[in-house]
Structure 1
């Protein structure tokens, strides 16, 4: 089977919506510049407002996971995209500081809410043997779209800041239409209300059941640590490089290697990873994170060494992101997949909020060498944790996979299903 073969039609509509969504990611990367240059905010005020996006993302992950199991994957995605489009358009014309902060919070929540549902759809449509490949392809679409959107947003900003809001809102609305019209509703039908808290009188217990899964919580905690490292590369790395006398243009070239490596190597790397145990892959990815940021500790003012570090931890990111999502899908019962992905996404979103604060504190009180050494230590500890967790290979996991295959509708039924 080829890298692109054997996946249901519904997955490719989902993949297309992901690509469109990321192609229109205009507002968030330029939000700080918009607030300072166009609205006259101070750097501190702009930073506080942008932090509301991270807080919204944390809430949106949990809410999106809950809604995708209660109401359905398709309605959660479509509704979230439509609400986000409206909020984005409102941000373009709002001038009051409190209102902008509130809308930014809602923007973060709306942007994050579809992700658990999206991951749940992939888990529903694709069998355990192909999930890592499917999540890798979707992650590839994320990076292709985001890389191109950064270029397009630069041209839009030159014309007028309002165009980034219009473009972002328009592409988000298109995603909502794709989700409603073309992505199938895959939420499993309830077979036994007593064992399915996703619906019926026991619905409120669903999240409580998820939070009692110690392996999920451990995986989420370790993933939080690794995503804290990733965000150092996009928040504190430019500050550390500037302190070494390197220009912002140099940082731009160095960090552009992240997207370039993902776009070029995600597909061949996924072929190589196929069939390998998730636990070993996650441990290996953690070591790559540790090595990439550890190299940075010795970079000094050498831009090439910073670039080498980015390439190394990017490979770790490429292994970790789809593999961890597939591991969560394997851990979750079919009727709780949205909530499982929502709780896991909560850790990821929390890292995006906490990482800039933690990195800034370390840089202020120590220096870049201490920060990167600490990052390397966290990566190595995460690798050890994944070895202990043994996320696959157990009898319980093999049984869960067999039950997943038995409960999943035939692929032929799902391939021909649309939302119309």
Structure 2
């Protein structure tokens, strides 16, 4: 029985090209290397003595830099290609991470963190386009899932290593290690992932090429992703406060609950995606399913005071996340085949950057004014709103496909 499960799990990774594995390795090194990010608030308050209000504004510049970086990465990917954009992002951000330890004034750090994120997040749309270039069309969603797995593992390993570095060498050591790891990821990219290795996938041309801002179904999809991002990120900002205040969970218990999310992703996401890929359902159908499951987790929390419901809700949240993210990413890549891929994937990245800029603060304000129960119902409604928008986007894409087929016939 265990041997069969093991073989099925390993089999879910089969068929992926060597270049996709290399891209995952580079992404893992890059994400693990950005270990300064989880400790940014502590660094600013303890080492630089900024107030919480000042830290809030600095983190706003963090979000603005992320949005600007995603936009810039998309433009550069369309202009010079994903390979040069990723390499430039890694190498420039490696220098900027090292330099970020030196500003001491409020505006100096605001500008510094903006520039770091501008360079670092230019990587995001480029890596999405690279997935499309290096993976076979039938393996695209699983390739995306492998990159997501690398990102999650990197974000899990980074803070643990970062804590040890701070204890041994202080925050200065953290900035240096961040810079060195980004530099190493850039060198690996230049040495191992040459664009000549990209597949010349024939685009599945069903639609006339469009500018991204004139692609109505895609814009509706992006709006749905912003709403989905709003409700998803609450689990990592406002929800831990709920665990502590309503259920009196310790930091260790909260860490275990959040760790359950990462463990499930590591164990189940790739086999789940391989299974769902075999189903004759559209990408948007799976994204709707994922959004619904995440929204449902908020309803579950509100209908009972049983502490065990927190684990059940986290299960539904993680299941929804595992389904929604890979298939939404895959839908965006497929849609991008009819236009400039960098611009399409930049808008996809920006959707989640917008969620980070406004979502955390919105959740905090709702809880402060109306309480947790009301806020969770708002998140449920937003989740259902995202599902509705995705259904509408799906109906428009089906209508377009029928029109194109009619013209061909």
CA contact (8 A) 1:255 1:307 kept: no
- Please identify, of 212-221 and 251-260, the stretch whose mean Cα deviation from structure 2 is larger: 251-260
Residue in structure 1 matched with residue 68 of structure 2 by the alignment: 59
Return the match for 1:166 from 173, 176, 182. 176
Shift of 1:264: 1.3
3-state SS in 1 of match to 2:195: coil
The structure 1 residue matched to 2:267, chosen from 264, 268, 275, is 264
Find the counterpart in structure 2 of residue 153 from structure 1.
162
Q: CA deviation at 1:251?
A: 2.2
In the alignment, the residues of structure 2 paired with residue 210 and residue 70 of structure 1 have an alpha-carbon distance, to the nearest angstrom, of: 15
Question: What is the Cα deviation at residue 279 of structure 1?
Answer: 1.8
> C-alpha separation between the residues in 1 aligned to 2:293 and 2:350?
23
The answer for the alignment partner of 1:365 in structure 2 is 369
Task: Name the counterpart of 2:185.
Answer: 175
Deviation, 1:248, is: 3.1
CA distance in 2, matches of 1:153, 1:130: 34
Give the C-alpha shift of residue 334 in structure 1: 6.1
Matched residue, 1:350: 354
Deviations 1:335-367 (A, max 9, x none): 611110001111111111111111111011100
4+ runs of 1 displaced by more than 4 Å?
186-189, 395-400
Partner SS for 1:6 = coil
In 2: Cα distance, 1:2 partner to 1:253 partner: 29
* Aligned 8 A contact 2:69 2:120 in 1: yes
Query: Contact 2:73–2:85 (CA<8 Å) still a contact in 1?
Result: yes
TM-score (norm 2): 0.87
**2:296 maps to what in 1?**
291
In 1, Cα distance between equivalents of 2:171 and 2:157:
18
Q: Deviations over 1:195-219 (max 9, x none)?
A: xxxxxxxxxxx9x911111111111
Where in structure 1 are there 5+ consecutive unaligned residues?
190-205, 401-420
**Partner in structure 1 of residue 380 of structure 2:** 376
Is structure 2 residue 119 aligned with structure 1 residue 102? Answer: no
In 2, distance between residues paired with 1:36 and 1:389?
44
Partner deviation per Cα, 1:2-52 (whole Å, 9 max, x = no partner): 433333332222111011112223111110001111111111111211221
Against the structure 1 CA distance between its residues 257 and 75, is the aligned structure 2 distance closer, same or farther, given a 3 Å change threshold? same
| Structure 1 residues 260 and 391: alpha-carbon distance in aligned structure 2, compared to 1, 3 A threshold | farther
- The one of 250, 257, 263 equivalent to 1:254 is 257
Contact 1:297 1:370 in 2 (8 A): no
1:136 equivalenced with 2:145 (yes/no):
yes
In the other structure, the counterpart of 2:217 is 215
Aligned residue number for residue 315 of structure 1? 319
Q: Give the aligned length.
A: 383
User: What is the alpha-carbon root mean square deviation over aligned residues?
Assistant: 2.5
1:223 Cα deviation from its structure 2 partner: 0.5
Residue 240 of structure 2 aligns with which residue?
238
Where structure 2 has 5 or more consecutive residues not aligned to the other structure, the ranges are: 1-9, 201-208, 405-409
Given that 1:188 and 1:335 are in contact with CA atoms closer than 8 Å, whether structure 2 keeps it comes out as no
Distance 1:72 1:399 in 2: 32
CA contact (8 A) 1:136 1:266 kept: yes
CA 1:305–1:142 in 2, change beyond 3 Å: closer, same or farther? same
TM-score for the superposition, normalised by structure 1: 0.85
